[in-house]
Amino acid sequence: MGLEQSVAIVTGAAQGIGYAVAQRFGARGAKVVVADRNGAEAAAAKLQAQGIDALGVAVDVSSPEQVEAMAAQAEALYGRIDVLVNNAGIYSSLTPKPFEQLTVQEWQQVLNVNVVGVFLTCKAVLPAFQRAGGGRIVNISSGVAFKGNPGMAHYVASKGAVISLTRALATELGVHKVLVNSVAPGFTLSDGALANPVLVEGVKGPSLRGRVLARDMLPDDVIGAIEFFADAPSAFITGQTLVVDGGAYFH
């Protein structure tokens, strides 16, 4: 099944990369569930105004009850779930700081959303995938998991966990015809990042200097890779991570 006939859940889709993915999927003919803690219904309304069949659901991905309710609502409305894009995560609100200054609370907050949230959403949609005869999971990790960027140890660790979880789930869920892959973007000038000038000031310069393609990375730059893993041409690919960062890391 291609995207044209699919039902896709995109978490963290009220803005930035998530919204761009939802928009692209919807333009292809997919029915899109916009899931986000804030702004989901407004984002879905914007997509509907473009002729896209979209549902907005307010959800905290670290809450098992809210995630299960989101999956149930999506399947009840559309009759199936075919694609899950795990884009929700904590990054743009973070302030880089030395490892020894990070608190347990900061670690727990990042891991609860970036790692536990992925676990919960995957678990919530699996029954629907099984009823549909298969599905696609695309986890958004990050190039920092391979480079070990300084000042963001908790974030780097969380994205490394997402890559490892992707591999584990691909191994376990293949029997259900569920493909699980990951896309690892470089530093992207998304809406969230632009709202944190301290982060942009500290990361943008080193990111540009490290890229073969020495320009800013925008949400549109990563959509194609996510779309590929969610669509029919990638039907024999699972457990993989594709780095999209303009050539900063060769993986």
What value does the CA radius of gyration of the chain take, rounded to a whole number of Å? 17
Catalytic residue of the set 19, 78, 91, 155: 155
Sorted by sequence, the CB contacts under 8 Å of residue 189 that are 6+ apart come out as 200, 204, 216, 217, 218
Sorted by sequence, the CB contacts under 8 Å of residue 95 that are 6+ apart come out as 196, 198, 199
**Cα–Cα distance for residue pair 155/145, rounded to 1 Å:** 9
**Cα–Cα distance for residue pair 118/35, rounded to 1 Å:** 13
Contact 94, 199 (CB under 8 A): yes
Q: At what angle do helices 104-111 and 153-173 cross, to 10 degrees?
A: 30
**Cα–Cα distance for residue pair 49/53, rounded to 1 Å:** 9
**Does residue 19 carry a catalytic annotation?**
no
- Return the active site residues: 155
